[in-house]
Structure 1
Amino acid sequence: MTMKTVVNPFDLSEIGSVPTAEWDEIDAFLTRAHELSEDRSAWMKAHERAAILHRAMEIMKERRDHLAFQIANEGGKPLIDARVEADRAINGMELCIHEIGALKGTEIPMGLTSAGDGRLAWTTREPIGPVVAVSAFNHPLNLIVHQVAPAVAVGCPVIVKPASDTPLSCFEFIDILHEAGLPKEWAKAVAPSRDASEKMVTDPRVAFFTFIGSAGVGWSLRSKLSPGTRCALEHGGVAPVIVDQTADLEAAVPSLAKGGFYHSGQVCVSVQRVFAHSSIVDELAGKLADAAKALKVGNAIEEDVECGPLIRPAEVDRVAQWVEEARDGGGTVLCGGERLSETTYAPTVLLNPPADATISRKEVFGPVVCVYSYDNVDDAIARANSLDVSFQAAVFTNDLNAAMHTYRNINASAVMVNDHTAFRTDWMPFTGLKTSGHGTGGIPYTCHEMTIEKMIVIKG
């Protein structure tokens, strides 16, 4: 058996390993998963699934500190935030247990025309079938919970491929499910080659494919899915924020700093483009730069670190290149704008980078926030809407009419008022629009998408 080595992204020291998977192993799981889905006598009962998830949740509570440290150690998320992720993952298990009791159908009225007379009809919900999950590195435990636990909750066998940089949390979570009583044939973690990964995703036995990662990979895999395979894709955005002249900057700046520099900007709805009214843009940008300068950058496993490393040294090179391009194009670097090491980049605030700069058009996935001046809010909204991505957005204002105007006109699936774009709870809908995704995330919505609604019509 060959093993894949996992490193701490700050100092690149080896911290663990996971076994790699060959196609024969994946093929055997999919064969058994298909058999389980077809044999209704093999389906686990609702109370059995709930009991397994509850035991797994209790195990996670006992190991909370260990899980949080592992998140920080393999993913570079500061320990203070990794603890929050571990708590969210534990709460996500409880949400899944709740959703088991919420999976129900509806009565369909049949007497609306004479054609329906004498009939009763209602629906129930059944598991859709085998699920394949492919996940991202930036929340190595909670994303796995979002993709795997709903499958367990509704009764779908599931095979999951974590990000190659952060597989430890995923493999441990699957082990916890097995320890809690889930038969191994119902859930498996794998670290396959790229070719085997694509073969797994596009296999005709797959009923549902859930993907979190880059748009290029997600849309490419969707185009190759077997006919009949349903899917949910969660990509990224270039999150826009409108800050008008009535905004409370003392409240806005800490929120924007958290939304922009949390996990060093490696979040799909991280604050990236801030459009500030010309009367307050200099003050806002200056205060945001001061907040960024105060952040401590270092190894995420240290208690006082607020910004960890980027996931790979190549990402530091890319971010540095994008910032230099913006600087050369006339953007002003108010703070940061430099590598701190092979694996870290200084939290950076750019003022008025060019609209055609890469950093103004694409998701930076790094610790950089761009601030742009505007005079007319409709112009700012038009600039915010000009890209092919659309996810979460925000507006900071003390004017209700202004808040509603932005809400109605900005392209987004969710608009936060006086809060940053990266706000999320695990039970709310989380939806990428345009190239930012397909389908709806959030545990209740994922549980729904992993089931089918089946109708019975009785003529009597």
Structure 2
Amino acid sequence: MSQLLSVYSPFSNELLKEIPYNTDSDLEKALQTAYGLFQDRSQWMPAHQRIELLEKVQELMKGQVEELTKLAASEGGKPYQDSKVEVLRAINGVKIAAEEIGRLTGTQIPMGLTAASTNRLAWTMREPIGVVASISAFNHPLNLIVHQTITAFAAGCPVIVKPAGTTPLSCIRFLKILEEAGIPEGWVQGLILDNELAEKLATDPRVNYLSFIGSGKVGWYLKSKLAPGTRIALEHGGTAPVIVAEDCDVSELIGPLAKGGFYHAGQVCVSVQKVFAHENIARELAEGIAQAAEKLKVGDPLSEDTEVGPLILPKEVGRIDEWVQEAVSEGAELLTGGKVLANNCYAPTVLWNPSVDSKVSQEEIFGPVICIYPYQDRAQAIQQANAVPYHFQSAVFTQNLDIALDTMQKLDANAVMVNDHTAFRVDWMPFGGRDQSGEGMGGIPYSMHEMTRTKLLVFKSKYL
């Protein structure tokens, strides 16, 4: 008898569904199917067919926005209003992927530049890399699945996806939509796997590309186990530092920083976590964010006016509270929050000047907590922002172009936002961490490029 995965609402702890785990034989069958499709070029779909199918997927999704929104909110805890934005992003992501198919092109390579290269014509082309394995995370249960499956399919790769164990329902529904759209069997497969079989999927030699979104500990471990030649994209977290210059209008910063820090209860890999503000405005900014935090409606993610929902698991609520109380005991001032609420919720929290040695300063909190640090010297603030090994997205707020340019260059991050919060993202931009925050590049066009490889063609002829 198959073991069952129980999927619970993170808010009510209601059992939403029980799903059978896939077995070792299921995994082997999926790998054989995907590998067989890739090896048999007669089954490869031409670009126009992939575009047509993805257009059908978009239309089906457009007719199910409400259903998809409620499903994502119920299993993931992201408030209804933000889950609806996610669903609309996912639909647009399918559109971006379809459009990007026509941009997977090569270039002409000049010949005749030396005597040995005469009478030749050369150019590159891009081919699908092979079988893609995607292991996903809970915090965007639909949009991440789109990023990790539709990119592969659009690039011409068979893909096997393992959704997060806490949020598999959106993935299952999306796979049904792909089936309804007519995507041929085997090109996008979903499996419910335990950790042992997930590792077996990731490290199988038939897998050419692994897309992993989740904890750094697991991601770097899987990288160490990959079969030779398997490429990888790892997307982990960061501490999202923000530098605020003295010339800023504090009133204009409070809204964006509060949104960037408390969106999805801070369970986003680029959530605003550490704000380094000039000492002349830091306290005013901190108190303003604290006041904004106290006005946020925390509660049922299915309620249309909820702004902050629950944490994904009860243990995460306990961990975040432990970190906050530890920071207070080590000298931080609690301006607001710092308490466990009903239904796995945690009060949006603002900490004033935690110790640089506290966990909230050293590690990714992944919860609704913003830390404000006053500084005198911007260079020292940048140094402190760069001091941790996690470097993903960052931000600087200033009206001075020179300060913006100087800070942009000195912040160790893959992306720097100027006068916007760190959690800004659109799905066609490059997105990924560096150092311990990840490897490879996400963003739909960039993922598709990574899921292809270059082939060089050289023609020799006496007529050239």
State the match for 2:124 in structure 1.
Answer: 123
State the match for 1:44 in structure 2.
Answer: 45
State the match for 2:421 in structure 1.
Answer: 420
- The CA distance in 2 between the partners of 1:189 and 1:341, in whole Å, is 34
Structure 1 residue 2, shift from structure 2 partner: 4.2
Q: 1:401-420, aligned counterparts within 5 Å? A: 401-420=402-421
Q: Which amino acid aligns with 1:251?
A: E
Give the CA RMSD over aligned residues.
0.9
- The CA distance in 2 between the partners of 1:73 and 1:54, in whole Å, is 27
- The CA distance in 1 between the partners of 2:178 and 2:304, in whole Å, is 29
State the match for 1:154 in structure 2.
Answer: 155
Structure 1 residue 103, shift from structure 2 partner: 1.1
SS in 1 for 2:366: coil
State the match for 1:106 in structure 2.
Answer: 107
SS in 2 for 1:163: coil
Question: 1:72-130 deviations in whole A, cap 9, x for unaligned?
Answer: 10000000100100000000000010011111111011122222111100111111111
CA contact (8 A) 2:10 2:343 kept: no
State the match for 1:197 in structure 2.
Answer: 198
State the match for 1:251 in structure 2.
Answer: 252
Question: 1:125-157 deviations in whole A, cap 9, x for unaligned?
Answer: 111111100000000000000010011111111
CA contact (8 A) 1:240 1:275 kept: yes
- The CA distance in 2 between the partners of 1:455 and 1:356, in whole Å, is 52
CA contact (8 A) 2:282 2:373 kept: yes
Structure 1 residue 248, shift from structure 2 partner: 1.8
**2:436 pairs with 1:435:** yes
- The CA distance in 1 between the partners of 2:54 and 2:129, in whole Å, is 19
State the match for 1:376 in structure 2.
Answer: 377
- The CA distance in 2 between the partners of 1:115 and 1:431, in whole Å, is 42
Structure 1 residue 18, shift from structure 2 partner: 2.8
State the match for 2:329 in structure 1.
Answer: 328
SS in 1 for 2:416: strand
State the match for 2:302 in structure 1.
Answer: 301
- The CA distance in 2 between the partners of 1:193 and 1:310, in whole Å, is 22
- The CA distance in 1 between the partners of 2:250 and 2:130, in whole Å, is 50
State the match for 2:289 in structure 1.
Answer: 288
TM-score of the superposed pair, with normalisation by structure 1: 0.99
Alignment: residue pair count: 460
State the match for 1:226 in structure 2.
Answer: 227
| 5+ long unaligned stretches in structure 1 | none
CA contact (8 A) 2:65 2:88 kept: yes
- The CA distance in 2 between the partners of 1:256 and 1:28, in whole Å, is 47
The 4+ residue runs of structure 1 with deviation greater than 6 A are none
State the match for 2:142 in structure 1.
Answer: 141
SS in 2 for 1:315: helix
State the match for 2:356 in structure 1.
Answer: 355
Q: Which amino acid aligns with 1:241?
A: V
CA contact (8 A) 2:310 2:343 kept: no
Question: 1:276-327 deviations in whole A, cap 9, x for unaligned?
Answer: 1000011000000000000011010111110000000000000000000000
Q: 1:7-22, aligned counterparts within 5 Å? A: 7-22=8-23
CA contact (8 A) 1:18 1:167 kept: no
SS in 1 for 2:431: coil
Deviates more, 1:370-379 or 1:247-256: 247-256
Q: 1:312-323, aligned counterparts within 5 Å? A: 312-323=313-324
- The CA distance in 2 between the partners of 1:321 and 1:161, in whole Å, is 31
TM-score of the superposed pair, with normalisation by structure 2: 0.98
Structure 1 residue 16, shift from structure 2 partner: 2.3
SS in 1 for 2:454: strand
State the match for 1:267 in structure 2.
Answer: 268
SS in 2 for 1:228: coil
CA contact (8 A) 1:64 1:86 kept: yes
Structure 1 residue 341, shift from structure 2 partner: 2.3
Q: 1:67-78, aligned counterparts within 5 Å? A: 67-78=68-79
- The CA distance in 2 between the partners of 1:88 and 1:389, in whole Å, is 27
SS in 2 for 1:182: coil
Question: 1:237-294 deviations in whole A, cap 9, x for unaligned?
Answer: 0010001110121111100000000000000000000001000011000000000000
Question: 1:4-38 deviations in whole A, cap 9, x for unaligned?
Answer: 22111011001223331001011111112111111
